[in-house]
Structure 1
Amino acid sequence: MTEEISQVAMKIILHAGNARTFIMESFQCMGEEQFTEAREKLKEAKQETLLAHKAQTETIQSEAQGNKHEFSLLFAHAQDTLMTIMSEWNIANQLVKVFEQMSKRINHPQ
């Protein structure tokens, strides 16, 4: 069971890391006023977080059904990483809206 939980943890970390890469690319696009591309990067990041979240949820549901898992520092780290990435996604998703509005005001003043 320890190896199984480690594999799930690595899956979560992998997908969360992929999501972070897309989020960072989204910030780059925002800085270049490429807002459509920034949103596309955020969509890709969201898909990666959903894959990570699914792996985490399946493990938690398994334990809730009575399948005990040994504590794993790696799994705790994976969960922490996923939560952090989800927060970064939420911030980036709001910032793209803010930056787009600011860009419109600067480039097309009334």
Structure 2
Amino acid sequence: MEHKKQVEEENELISVAMQIILHAGNGRTKAQEAVQCAKQKDFVGARACLTEAKKNIVLAHQSQTAVIQNEAAGKSYEPCLLFTHAQDHLMTISSEVTMTRELIDLFEIVIEHE
């Protein structure tokens, strides 16, 4: 019975990890699309893509937060390398989205002063 419980916990973390990776990856894709829009001087499109990127980051973060809240409430999980990777993936892409927003802001300023 203990083995079954451990397998269920691992499966839950794997499922959450995949949701984090999926949403964070979608956020990265939208950030990349924002850069392409900015290169075309379409800053309205770039901002729309950045909004979508941020929404995806929020979805990924919500998935992660549910596990953290469960642990805070006393639920314990066996370590899961994929979940750790997913958290790293989320942090990296969240930083990328933030930097993309800043770069597009800078690019827009430069274009306005040409």
Normalising to structure 1: TM-score of the pair?
0.94
Return the letter of the residue paired with 1:101. I
1:61 to 65, 69, 75: 69
- The number of residue pairs the alignment matches comes to 106
Map of 2:3 onto structure 1: none
Name 1:4's counterpart in structure 2: 12
Q: How does 1:68-107 map to 2 (within 5 A)?
A: 68-106=76-114
Unpaired stretches in structure 2, ≥5 consecutive residues? 1-8
* Unpaired runs of at least 5, structure 1: none
Tell me the equivalent position of 2:24: 16
Rounded Cα–Cα distance in structure 2 between residues aligned with 1:82 and 1:58: 15
Root mean square deviation of aligned Cα:
0.6
Quote the offset at 1:64 in angstroms.
1.1
Distance 1:22 1:54 in 2: 18
**1:22-61 correspondence runs (5 A):** 22-61=30-69
- Percent pairwise identity: 47
Letter in 1 for 2:53: A
Runs of 4+ off more than 6 Å: none
